[in-house]
């Protein structure tokens, strides 16, 4: 894996060693303080650039173009809210998606299936174990956002989201978030409404190509701001679960990917 990863800076391959434990401790601390950790340059820049270049023709010919109107919850309604509640304002998200069965056996699939990487992520998330996903479409996705496209405000369904940026755009495409906007026992609908009208403090980060980002997005609202320019923002999303062989339903596959 040293041909694709900077394991001298990030000793993910040295499971259980002192340097490995130091890295895990740093990542756990960042998760606790900021709701995320970043390993800038984990994927070697030249590998990120080659991967992005290899995928561009596939985006042009094979990707699923997904444009949807949604609220921050990705739900049609919330039982305790009126349909016109300001927390349910609709926004647009648009991107193109490639699925795992379209990616081949290059750097992304090698990293996704590499056992020391899975063990490392589980340790950082303080999980006893993580498993790769069984779904042949959903296990790894790569999303491209072109000029004017954005991922709008939302909460994640899962506790943690694991992404790897392959290509940064010319401008825009920043990761913007509002930490701990809600809790499991407090949906904070008023705070959500303030966020959506621009009255809640947020933070932004610009990731560079090759950066691993692990983000606790279940209760932290976040979005990717609109991309500006001719260079798409391209990002891989790795899906792991605490139970093995998780599959999406046919309805979910059709909604996310346009096929089953």
* pLDDT tens profile 37-60: 999 999 999 999 999 999 999 999
Please state, for a pLDDT cut of 90, what percent of the chain lies above it.
98
How far apart CA 211 and CA 215 sit, in angstroms, is: 12
Buried b (16+ CB within 10 A) or exposed e, 239-259: bbbeeeebebeeeebeebbee
Q: What is the mean pLDDT of residues 89-94?
A: 96
Please tell me the predicted confidence (pLDDT) of residue 94: 96
Q: To which residue do tokens 């109107």 refer?
A: 69
Structural domains of the chain, with CATH: 18-257 (2.60.120.620)
Q: Which DSSP state fits 18? A: H
How far apart CA 219 and CA 119 sit, in angstroms, is: 24
Please tell me the predicted confidence (pLDDT) of residue 127: 98
Please tell me the predicted confidence (pLDDT) of residue 36: 95
Please tell me the predicted confidence (pLDDT) of residue 55: 98
Please tell me the predicted confidence (pLDDT) of residue 245: 96
User: Which residues contact residue 57 at a Cβ distance below 8 angstroms, ignoring those fewer than 6 apart?
Assistant: none
Please tell me the predicted confidence (pLDDT) of residue 58: 97
Distances (CA, A) of 185 to 2, 75, 160, 179, 219: 44, 19, 18, 16, 11
Distances (CA, A) of 88 to 145, 201, 204: 24, 19, 23
Per-residue pLDDT band at 103 (split at 50, 70, 90): very high
The alpha carbon of residue 77 and the mean position of all alpha carbons in its chain are separated, in whole angstroms, by 24
Residues 23, 121: contact at Cβ < 8 Å? Answer: no
Residues 170, 229: contact at Cβ < 8 Å? Answer: yes
Helices (H), 125-199: 189-196
Enter the tokens of residue 141.
Answer: 């996705």
Please tell me the predicted confidence (pLDDT) of residue 183: 93
How far apart CA 88 and CA 75 sit, in angstroms, is: 9
* pLDDT tens profile 65-75: 999 999 999 99
Please state, for a pLDDT cut of 70, what percent of the chain lies above it.
100
Q: Could you report how far apart the first and last alpha carbons of the chain are, in Å?
A: 32
């Amino acid at each position: 894996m040293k041909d694709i990863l900077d394991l001298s800076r990030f000793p993910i391959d040295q499971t259980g060693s002192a340097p490995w434990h130091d890295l895990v401790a740093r990542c756990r601390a960042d998760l606790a303080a900021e709701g995320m950790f970043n390993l800038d340059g984990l994927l070697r820049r030249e590998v990120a650039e080659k991967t992005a270049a290899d995928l561009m023709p596939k985006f042009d010919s094979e990707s699923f173009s997904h444009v949807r109107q949604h609220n921050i919850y990705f739900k049609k309604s919330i039982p305790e809210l009126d349909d016109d509640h300001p927390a349910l304002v609709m926004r647009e998200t648009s991107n193109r998606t490639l699925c795992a069965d379209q990616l081949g056996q290059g750097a992304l699939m090698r990293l996704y299936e590499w056992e020391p990487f899975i063990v490392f992520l589980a340790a950082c998330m303080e999980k006893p174990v993580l498993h790769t996903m069984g779904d042949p479409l959903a296990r790894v996705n790569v999303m491209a956002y072109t000029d004017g496209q954005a991922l709008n405000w939302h909460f994640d369904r899962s506790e943690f989201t694991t992404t790897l940026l392959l290509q940064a755009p010319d401008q825009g495409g920043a990761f913007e978030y509002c930490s701990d906007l809600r809790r499991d026992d407090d949906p904070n609908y008023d705070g959500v409404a303030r966020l959506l009208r621009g009255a809640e403090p947020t933070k932004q980060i610009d990731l560079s190509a090759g950066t691993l980002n692990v983000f606790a997005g279940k209760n932290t609202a976040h979005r990717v701001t609109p991309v500006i320019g001719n260079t798409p923002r391209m990002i891989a999303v790795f899906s792991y679960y605490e139970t093995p062989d998780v599959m999406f339903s046919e309805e979910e596959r059709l909604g996310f990917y346009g096929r089953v």
